[in-house]
Structure 1
């Protein structure tokens, strides 16, 4: 028996796939896997089959045509072809997480492309898909051009390939955004954007903080926030969350949130007790201020407990005029940014005593 890959198009009507399968079965062909893709021209069926050694490519094409199939493509396969497309795609995605620079090789392996090239021009309005070519927009800029003589590309392959390119760009962007900090006492920490996968590490961060630290962060109490709230903090609808890790990439020692609403954003920090008073909070706050200025926000707001002297000192170290309003034990600090969301230059304001 020999493994073959077959691609054929049939009318997208009830029973037509069974007619094609029956025609193959009459010739002793065992269908191992099948995927059906709906297109404008009909249903494109991808088969991996085990056929008798006496049946060659011509015989398989004849069997497909007798089963009302058309536009038939047949090629020998190997045992690795037994892995279905979703499994192969997940394997390639895992590779991209480890090697984001291998996008071209991953696309070639995913689609069996004859040629994959990157070009600086975007795919543009004329890009997309034809039988033999595929243009994929690279979120980092430019585009990937793929060519395959046979079989023709189909929309499902285009969607898979574009998803792979976007994953690669996201992994590369996250790696570029990660920085290493050396604190004044010589300790090192890595700072990176958070993702939903960081929930276990952020839960451990909260568990490792004292009740006083959690109260200063959330103001309303020292209890652990529910997981749903932590997930929203990790991936805010607008804004960014930064995590600081030490040693193990999953060992979170601090979390800095920038949550945007309108043309202003609210900032809050949580630093594990043994990492406080070491300059980590100041470094995280400066990075959030830089992000807010690049994003065009007009001002940052911080709600700080009046007894949270370390946080008040952290804001002072920015060296910027920061108006403050006190309401009982709550101090609200407003940090005007250099350029507002409409590009107006903000005038410096006097800082009242805290």
Structure 2
């Protein structure tokens, strides 16, 4: 038996696919996988089949035509074709997360393209597919042009390829947001956007913090939050979370020494910090707060809000180092400071001046 890939267009009408598969079955062809690409000219059926060794390409083409298939394409396949399409796409996505610069190779592997060319010229209003070409917009600027002699590209393939390019762009932006932070005492830390993979490190961070530090962060208690809540903090629906890590050694995971959260609601965003006790009073909290405020300003929020215990003098000093107006309201033992952003930041209120 031999593996073949077959692609053919059939009328998108009830029973027409069964006619095609029956024609293949009469010749002992076993269909291993099938994908259906809906197009304006009919349903494009993509098969991976196991056919008897004596069948040739011409035999398979004849079987497809007898099964009412048209625009046929047949080619030998390798064993790796047995992996289903979702599995292959997820594997390529994993590669892109680790290496965003590999978008071209990922596209070639996804679509079996003959050539993949990146150009600095944006596609403008021209993205889409032709019989042998595909144009994809690169979110980072520029465009990808793919060429494949056969089979013709389909809209479903275009959608998958564009999603893969956008994933590469997101991964590249995340990589560019990583910075090496040099503290006043000469210590270096890596500050980057948090992901769900940071959950074990953040759990260890909370365990390493004193009960007083956890209480100052969460206001209501000193217990470590449950893992589901921490995961939501690491990947907020709106906003961003940052982690600061020490450089690991010997292949070990880098320990998380601080977490900073910017959680958006409406046109304001709430900010909170947790810094491991032995890293406090070294300028780390100030640096993280400045980055969060800068992110909120670029994202267009009207203000950032901080809820602080009145006795939390170190956090109040950190807020003062921003050098921005921050009106404060008191509710019992909790202070709420609001830092205006954008146009509002240029008009400090009398209370803010005091």
Q: Given the two structures, how large is their TM-score scaled by the length of structure 2?
A: 0.89
2:177 equivalent in structure 1:
177
1:282 equivalent in structure 2:
286
Deviation at 1:325, TM superposition (A): 3.3
Residue 340 (structure 1) aligned with residue 306 (structure 2): no
Deviation at 1:234, TM superposition (A): 2.4
Residue 302 (structure 1) aligned with residue 306 (structure 2): yes
1:152 equivalent in structure 2:
152
Deviation at 1:217, TM superposition (A): 1.0
SS class of match (1:60)? helix
Map 1:1-354 to 2 at 5 A. Answer: 1-248=1-248, 251-337=255-341, 339-340=342-343, 345-347=346-348
CA contact (8 A) 2:325 2:348 kept: no
Q: Given the two structures, how large is their TM-score scaled by the length of structure 1?
A: 0.89
Deviation at 1:306, TM superposition (A): 1.3
Deviation at 1:227, TM superposition (A): 4.1
Count of residues in correspondence between the two structures: 350
Task: Name the CA shift for 1:121/1:280 in 2 (closer, same or farther; >3 Å).
Answer: same
State the superposition RMSD in angstroms.
Answer: 2.4
Distance in 2, Cα, partners of 1:216 & 1:316? 17
CA contact (8 A) 2:185 2:282 kept: yes
CA contact (8 A) 1:35 1:45 kept: yes
CA contact (8 A) 1:322 1:349 kept: no
CA contact (8 A) 1:259 1:266 kept: yes
Distance in 2, Cα, partners of 1:37 & 1:262? 40
Deviation at 1:174, TM superposition (A): 0.5
CA contact (8 A) 1:119 1:142 kept: yes
The answer to which of 314-323 and 44-53 deviates more is: 314-323
Distance in 2, Cα, partners of 1:235 & 1:91? 22
Distance in 1, Cα, partners of 2:321 & 2:203? 29
Distance in 1, Cα, partners of 2:338 & 2:233? 21
The answer to which of 269-278 and 154-163 deviates more is: 269-278
Distance in 2, Cα, partners of 1:321 & 1:18? 71
The answer to which of 189-198 and 62-71 deviates more is: 189-198
Distance in 2, Cα, partners of 1:261 & 1:220? 20
CA contact (8 A) 1:324 1:352 kept: no
